[in-house]
Chain A
C-alpha cells in the first residue's frame, strides 16, 4: 500500500491554522502569564486571531481560491467559505460573552476552580482568591478549529477527527458553570457519555460505508454508488449509522435528550456558543455528507430525514409549550429549529445544481438568522439576574419591559425572529426553507412545518407577553453589563432586523457561491 505524502495548501488552510495556533498559544499563556493578566491576554489573542482568520478568509474569497485541500481530505468551496465566515463571526460574538466580568461582580460565568469538589474548602478558597478559568478561551478555540474542519471535511475520517476535536472541549466547557455546579457537572457527564455513544455509531457507520465503497472520500463514495461492488446492505446500514452520529450533534429527535440538560447546566455563554456554532458546523456536515457523498442515494435517505424532521419539529415545539425555564425553552426551540432546517435538507433536488444550491442557500440563511437571534437571546439570559445569579424562570422575566425596555425589545425581536414573524430574519429563513422543500416536492412536509411553526409562535409570544404585560418580580434586576455582553446583544439584534428588512444580499450571496465541490 502506497502512502503519498499529503500536500498542504497553506494559504487556503490559513483560517483553520490561525485558530488552532491561537488555541495552542492560549495554553502557553496559561502557563507563562501571571494570573492577573491572563484574561486580558486571552481575550486579546482570541479577538486578534479570529479577526485575522476572517481577514485571510475574505482575502482567499476575493482571490477566488478554491478546491480540495490536503489530498482531498478537505475542500474549500462556496458553502465552506460561508460556513467558515459564519463560524468565525458567531464564535467571536459568543466568546466575547465569556469575558464578561461586570455582571458577576468581578467574576466570569465560570467556576473559580472547576476541579474542586462543589461545596468543598478548596472551592471556597479559590473563590475568595478570585481565581478564574481563563482556559475556557483556548478550549473554545480548539473546539472552533474542529468545527471549521468539520464543515469543510471531504472524507469521513477527517469528519470523524474534526467531530471529536470539536466535541471534547465542549464537554469540559459544559462542566464549568460558576453557579449550580453539580447540575453543570452532571450535564457535562451526560453529554460526554451520550456523545461517546453517538460517536461510536458514527464510527461504525464510517467502517460500513468504507466496506461498501473502499474509500473514505466523499467523491469516491459518490462514484461507487453508481457502480457497487457489494450489495446495498452495507451502504444502507452505514448510512443509517452516519445519520445517527450527525443527527445527535444537531440535536434532532430522538437523539436530542442531551440538549435540554446541557443547555441548562452549561454556563450561559457556553450554551450560546454551542447553540450556534456546534449546530452550524454539524448542519453543514450533514448537508455535505448527504448531498456530496450520498447524493445519488437520496431516495433512501430522504424518507428517513423527513421522518426525523417531523419528529424533531413536533416534539421540539410541543415540549417547548410546557417550559417555564427560559434556557430550557431555548433548548427546545433549538431542537425545533433543527427540524425546520432538516425540512430544507430533505427538499434537496440534488439532480439539478440549481436545486441543490437553493436548498443550501436557504439552510445557510436560516442558520445565520437563527445564529444572530440566538446570540442576542443568550446575551440577554446572562443579564437578567437576582441575588443568586441568572434568573431562568420565565415568571422571573415578567415585567422586564418596565425595568429595561431596551433589553425587553431585543429579546422580543429575537423571539419574533424565532417565531418567523415578518420583518425579522427568521421569517425569511423559514420562508426560504419552506420554499426549498416545496420545490423538492415535499409539500406535505411543508404543511407539517407550517403547523409546527404556528404552534411554536405561541411559545415565543408567551415570553413576550410575560415581559411586556406581566408585573415586575421583586428582586430581579437587569445587571449592568460591559461591552463584552452589550456588543453581541446589539449586533445580534441589529443583524436580525437587517436580515428581515434586507434579506437579498445574503440570499444572493448564498446562491451565488454555488454548490459543493466534489
Chain B
C-alpha cells in the first residue's frame, strides 16, 4: 500500500517557476501564428515551429534542473493559473502540477518532439502544406503538455481532447487519400468512446468529491465505497483504452499509420498513445485500492501485448508492424501499471525508453520509405543495410533496445515488468514472457526483410540515404536507445516515489532466474526469425497462407470484423430506424405544425386587414392565459 510519509504536498510556484505556463503557451501561440500567418510564413514557418518546441524543451529542462537541485519535499510545484468557476460547493480551478511524474513526460514530449520537428523539416520538404503541418504539430505539443501538466482531471480532459483533435487533423493530413480521411474518422470515432468513459469518470469525481483536482481525488478516494472506486477506475480505464489503442478499442491505431511518418513517431508511438498509461498511473490512488479496476488493467494490458505482437508478426507494411509493436509495448506498460505500486515506476520507465527507441525506429522507417519512394511494403525492400548506412545503424540500436538485448534501454525496463508480473500473477508473467519472444521474432523479421537478403526493389527505385536534417535526429535517438535504460535504472524508482507511492525494491545488474529465462526466449525468437526469413529468400509477393495464425494476424485479428458486427451494423440499423422515425414522426410533426401555423395565419389573415390586429389578438389570448394560470395556481 501507499505509505503517506513520502508524499509531499506540492509547493506553490514562486519566482521563475511561476512562469512555467510558458511551456504550453509558446507552442500554442506558435500554432496560432502558423495557422493564421498565411503564405508569408511558408518559407520560415517550419523553423518557427521547431523553435517553439525547443523553447518548451529548454523550459522543461530548466524546471527539471530546478527539481534536481531542490529538496525532495519541494520538488512538486503547483502553478495555479486561475479560478474559473467558484460557486457554492463547486470550485473549478485551472492550474499546473509539475511533479516528478509530469516533468519526465514534459521532457519526453518536448525532447523527442523537438527532434521529430527537426526531422519533419526534411521529411515534409516536398509538401506544399508544410506550414500547416507544423502548426498542427505545435498544437499537438501544447495539448499534450496540457494533458500531462494539468493539476486536475478537467484541465487534463481539455488536453486530452486537444491531442485527439491534433491526432485527427494529422492522420487525415493527406486528405486527398480517401484511406487517410477514413482512418482519421475511425480514430476520431473510436476515441470518442474512450472519451465518453473519461467524461463520465470526471463527472463522477465532481459529484463525489466536489472537485476534480488530483489532490482532492487522491485524498477522497480512500473514503469512498468500493462500488464507486471500481466504477471510476473502470471508466478511467475505458478512457485509457481509447487513447492508448488497447483491446477492445485497438483497431484505430493500425489505420492511423496513414498519417505522415513523423506523426506516427511522435503521436502514435512516443507520446499521445501513452497518455492512457499516464492516466492510470496518475490515478494510482483509485486503482491501488480497487482490486476490480486494477485486475481489469492487468487483463487489458496482457491481452493487448499478445494481440499487438501477433499482428506484428504477419504484416508486410513496415509501419503497421511497428504499430502492432507499439500496441504490444503499451500493453506491457498497462500491465505494469495494473500491478499496483510495484509496477508504477516500471510502467513509466518502459514508457520513457519506449518513447526513445520506438520514435527512433519510426523515424528510421520514414527514412527507409524516403529512400524507397514512399513504398511501405517490406517485401519490396531488402539489402538496404549498405545503401542507407546511418538509418540501418540507428535502426539497429532501436532493434536491440526493443528486444531487450543486455544493457540496451529495453533490457532494463522490460525485464523489470516481466519480473514484477511474475511476482503478482504467474499468468500475467507468462504472457509477458511469451510477448518478449514474439517481439524478438517479428523485429528480427522486420530487420531481415528490410536491411538484409536480396534486393527486391521495384523498377525505377534508387534508394539513397536521407539528408542530414533527418539523420541527426536518428543518431540522437539511437544514443538514447542505447543508454537511456542504464541511465535511469538506478534512479527512476526513487525519483518517482513521492508521486506514485513507494515500494521496496532491489535493483541488481545480474539477471535473476526470470531474467535468464527471458533472454533464452528472446534468443529463441531471434533464431526462429532467422530460420524463416534470413536463411532463404523472401518472396516479393506475400504467399497465400492458410496458416490460421498468419491469416488472423494479417487481418488485425479480425478487429474490424468484430467492430462491424457488434457495433457498426446494429448502430446503422438503429440509426436507419431513427431516421425513418425522424422522417415520419418528427418531420411529420414539425411539418404538420408548420402547415398548421401557416394555415392558421392564412385563415386569420382572411378575417383581418392588418397583422397588428393579429398581434393584439395574441396578446389578448395571452391575457386570458395569464388569468387562467393565476386562477389555477390559486386552486392548486
Binding site for B on A (CB under 8 A): 189-190, 193-194, 197-198, 201, 232, 236-237, 239-240, 243-244, 248, 253-255, 257-258, 261, 299-300, 302-304, 307-308, 322, 405, 428, 431-432, 435, 501-504, 507
Q: Is B573 an interface residue, CB under 8 A from the partner?
A: no
CA distance A316 to B594 in the complex (A): 15
Q: Let me know if B633 and A244 touch, CB within 8 A.
A: no
Q: Let me know if A190 and B627 touch, CB within 8 A.
A: no
Q: Let me know if B85 and A303 touch, CB within 8 A.
A: no
When C-beta atoms are compared, the residue in chain A nearest to B611 turns out to be A190
Instruction: List 29 A-B residue pairs with CB atoms under 8 Å apart, sorted by A's residue number.
Output: A189-B612, A190-B611, A190-B612, A193-B616, A194-B615, A232-B634, A237-B627, A240-B623, A243-B626, A244-B623, A253-B622, A254-B619, A254-B622, A254-B625, A255-B622, A257-B619, A299-B633, A300-B633, A303-B629, A303-B632, A307-B625, A405-B36, A432-B87, A435-B87, A501-B82, A501-B84, A502-B82, A503-B84, A504-B86
Q: Is B70 an interface residue, CB under 8 A from the partner?
A: no
**Which residues of the other chain, A, contact B594 by a CB distance below 8 angstroms?**
322
Q: Is B207 an interface residue, CB under 8 A from the partner?
A: no
CA distance A190 to B594 in the complex (A): 24
CA distance A386 to B78 in the complex (A): 54
When C-beta atoms are compared, the residue in chain A nearest to B626 turns out to be A240
**Which residues of the other chain, A, contact B612 by a CB distance below 8 angstroms?**
189-190, 193-194
CA distance A198 to B618 in the complex (A): 12
CA distance A69 to B594 in the complex (A): 51
**Which residues of the other chain, A, contact B626 by a CB distance below 8 angstroms?**
240, 243-244, 304, 308
Of A232, A244, A507, the contact of B622 (CB 8 Å cutoff) = A244
Q: Is B43 an interface residue, CB under 8 A from the partner?
A: no
Q: Let me know if B633 and A503 touch, CB within 8 A.
A: no
CA distance A435 to B627 in the complex (A): 29
Given contacts A243-B626, A303-B629, contact A428 B85 (CB under 8 A): yes
Q: Let me know if A194 and B627 touch, CB within 8 A.
A: no
CA distance A237 to B626 in the complex (A): 10
Q: Let me know if B623 and A201 touch, CB within 8 A.
A: yes
Rounded to whole Å, the gap between the CB of B630 and the closest CB of chain A is 5
CA distance A244 to B622 in the complex (A): 8
Q: Let me know if A304 and B630 touch, CB within 8 A.
A: yes
Rounded to whole Å, the gap between the CB of A264 and the closest CB of chain B is 13
CA distance A193 to B611 in the complex (A): 12
Q: Let me know if A257 and B615 touch, CB within 8 A.
A: yes
**Which residues of the other chain, B, contact A504 by a CB distance below 8 angstroms?**
82-86
Q: Is B388 an interface residue, CB under 8 A from the partner?
A: no
Residue of B621, B626, B627, B636 contacting most chain A CB atoms (<10 Å): B626
**Which residues of the other chain, B, contact A258 by a CB distance below 8 angstroms?**
615
Of A194, A201, A307, the contact of B629 (CB 8 Å cutoff) = A307
**Which residues of the other chain, A, contact B616 by a CB distance below 8 angstroms?**
193-194, 197
A-B contacts besides A255-B619, A255-B622, 12 pairs, CB < 8 Å: A189-B612, A190-B615, A244-B623, A254-B625, A258-B615, A303-B633, A304-B630, A308-B626, A435-B87, A503-B85, A504-B84, A504-B85
**Which residues of the other chain, A, contact B614 by a CB distance below 8 angstroms?**
257
**Which residues of the other chain, B, contact A303 by a CB distance below 8 angstroms?**
629, 632-633, 636
**Which residues of the other chain, A, contact B86 by a CB distance below 8 angstroms?**
504, 507
Within B74-89, the residues touching A (CB, 8 Å) are 82-88
Q: Which 7 A-B pairs have the closest CB atoms?
A: A254-B622, A257-B615, A303-B633, A190-B612, A304-B629, A240-B626, A240-B630
Chain A's interface: helix, strand, loop or mixed, by majority?
helix
Q: Let me know if B629 and A431 touch, CB within 8 A.
A: no
CA distance A197 to B620 in the complex (A): 10
Of B615, B622, B630, the contact of A239 (CB 8 Å cutoff) = B630
CA distance A193 to B625 in the complex (A): 21
Binding site for A on B (CB under 8 A): 36, 82-88, 594, 611-612, 614-616, 618-619, 621-623, 625-627, 629-630, 632-634, 636
**Which residues of the other chain, A, contact B619 by a CB distance below 8 angstroms?**
194, 197-198, 244, 248, 254-255, 257
**Which residues of the other chain, B, contact A193 by a CB distance below 8 angstroms?**
612, 616
**Which residues of the other chain, A, contact B632 by a CB distance below 8 angstroms?**
303
Rounded to whole Å, the gap between the CB of B593 and the closest CB of chain A is 8
When C-beta atoms are compared, the residue in chain B nearest to A233 turns out to be B634
Of A257, A299, A435, the contact of B618 (CB 8 Å cutoff) = A257
Given contacts A189-B612, A193-B616, A307-B629, contact A254 B87 (CB under 8 A): no
**Which residues of the other chain, B, contact A431 by a CB distance below 8 angstroms?**
85
Residue of B615, B616, B625, B627 contacting most chain A CB atoms (<10 Å): B615
Residue of B86, B611, B630, B636 contacting most chain A CB atoms (<10 Å): B630
CA distance A44 to B612 in the complex (A): 38
When C-beta atoms are compared, the residue in chain B nearest to A201 turns out to be B623
CA distance A431 to B92 in the complex (A): 13
Given contacts A193-B612, A502-B82, contact A300 B634 (CB under 8 A): yes
**Which residues of the other chain, B, contact A248 by a CB distance below 8 angstroms?**
619
Q: Let me know if A240 and B627 touch, CB within 8 A.
A: yes
CA distance A189 to B629 in the complex (A): 31
CA distance A432 to B594 in the complex (A): 34
When C-beta atoms are compared, the residue in chain B nearest to A194 turns out to be B615
Q: Let me know if A236 and B623 touch, CB within 8 A.
A: no
Q: Let me know if B622 and A300 touch, CB within 8 A.
A: no
CA distance A369 to B629 in the complex (A): 32
Q: Let me know if B634 and A254 touch, CB within 8 A.
A: no
CA distance A504 to B87 in the complex (A): 9
**Which residues of the other chain, B, contact A428 by a CB distance below 8 angstroms?**
85
CA distance A213 to B480 in the complex (A): 86
CA distance A197 to B611 in the complex (A): 15
**Which residues of the other chain, B, contact A190 by a CB distance below 8 angstroms?**
611-612, 615
CA distance A299 to B632 in the complex (A): 12
**Which residues of the other chain, A, contact B625 by a CB distance below 8 angstroms?**
254, 307
Q: Let me know if B622 and A236 touch, CB within 8 A.
A: no
Rounded to whole Å, the gap between the CB of A194 and the closest CB of chain B is 6
CA distance A257 to B88 in the complex (A): 39
**Which residues of the other chain, B, contact A261 by a CB distance below 8 angstroms?**
611
Of B36, B82, B85, B630, the contact of A300 (CB 8 Å cutoff) = B630
Rounded to whole Å, the gap between the CB of A191 and the closest CB of chain B is 9
CA distance A42 to B583 in the complex (A): 57
CA distance A354 to B350 in the complex (A): 54
Residue of B83, B618, B619, B634 contacting most chain A CB atoms (<10 Å): B619
CA distance A280 to B632 in the complex (A): 30
CA distance A239 to B631 in the complex (A): 12
**Which residues of the other chain, A, contact B623 by a CB distance below 8 angstroms?**
201, 240, 244
Of B88, B621, B627, B630, the contact of A254 (CB 8 Å cutoff) = B621
**Which residues of the other chain, A, contact B634 by a CB distance below 8 angstroms?**
232, 236, 300
**Which residues of the other chain, B, contact A405 by a CB distance below 8 angstroms?**
36
When C-beta atoms are compared, the residue in chain B nearest to A243 turns out to be B626
CA distance A193 to B627 in the complex (A): 22
CA distance A516 to B629 in the complex (A): 27
CA distance A65 to B623 in the complex (A): 40
**Which residues of the other chain, A, contact B85 by a CB distance below 8 angstroms?**
428, 431, 503-504
**Which residues of the other chain, B, contact A435 by a CB distance below 8 angstroms?**
87-88
**Which residues of the other chain, A, contact B636 by a CB distance below 8 angstroms?**
303
**Which residues of the other chain, B, contact A237 by a CB distance below 8 angstroms?**
627, 630
Rounded to whole Å, the gap between the CB of A307 and the closest CB of chain B is 5
CA distance A304 to B624 in the complex (A): 12
CA distance A236 to B626 in the complex (A): 11
Residue of A197, A236, A248, A254 contacting most chain B CB atoms (<10 Å): A254
CA distance A236 to B631 in the complex (A): 9
Rounded to whole Å, the gap between the CB of A197 and the closest CB of chain B is 6
Rounded to whole Å, the gap between the CB of B610 and the closest CB of chain A is 9
CA distance A253 to B594 in the complex (A): 18
CA distance A322 to B626 in the complex (A): 27
When C-beta atoms are compared, the residue in chain B nearest to A427 turns out to be B85
**Which residues of the other chain, B, contact A239 by a CB distance below 8 angstroms?**
630
Rounded to whole Å, the gap between the CB of A497 and the closest CB of chain B is 13
Rounded to whole Å, the gap between the CB of B132 and the closest CB of chain A is 15
CA distance A303 to B621 in the complex (A): 18
CA distance A26 to B618 in the complex (A): 39
CA distance A480 to B520 in the complex (A): 77
Rounded to whole Å, the gap between the CB of B173 and the closest CB of chain A is 19
